[in-house]
Amino acid sequence: MSLLRRRWLQMLLSGIVLLVLVERTLIATSDPNYAPSVILLGAFLVPVTFVTYLYERLPSWDVSLPALAVCFLWGGVLGTVVAGTLEFDVARALGFLPKLAIGLIEESAKLIVPLGFTSWGAIVLRRRA
């Protein structure tokens, strides 16, 4: 399968394009109405891409909607708390340059709950087998 035919990569790339477009529009117009769109796109891009990746890689994996909702809720809240704390410490200690590190912290923090949820599911499946 070609790399560009993978749905998770299409989701990630299109989300990045949309995020950049909305962010540039926000900066160019200084219209605060675009801020919620930037926040929502930034917050949901990695978790939605991760779930798309899982469904693509594990087509027989059946995850219920409540489990998915819990994963998104806890992942979003914990990701925000962890990223906010670590971002503040990194930005205060290192200044302006480590924007890449801050982005990496943000995106990694969003994956804490989905990865934990996936690991827990794998353990449960192994015990059943």
The tens digit of pLDDT for each residue in 54-95 reads 778 876 767 776 777 777 777 777 767 776 777 677 667 776
User: What does the pLDDT read at residue 20?
Assistant: 92
Q: Taking each helix axis from N to C terminus, what angle separates 7-29 and 35-57, rounded to the nearest 10 degrees?
A: 170
Read off the amino acid at residue 32.
P
Is the pTM higher than 0.75? The answer reads: no
Q: For the chain, how many structural domains are there in total?
A: 2
Same domain, 54 and 72: no
Same domain, 52 and 5: yes
Same domain, 128 and 76: yes
Rg (CA), the chain: 17
Inform me whether the pLDDT recorded for 37 exceeds 90: no
Same domain, 30 and 85: no
Inform me whether the pLDDT recorded for 1 exceeds 60: no
For residue 19, what are the domain limits? 1-61
Q: Are 109 and 86 in contact (CB under 8 A)?
A: yes
Same domain, 52 and 71: no
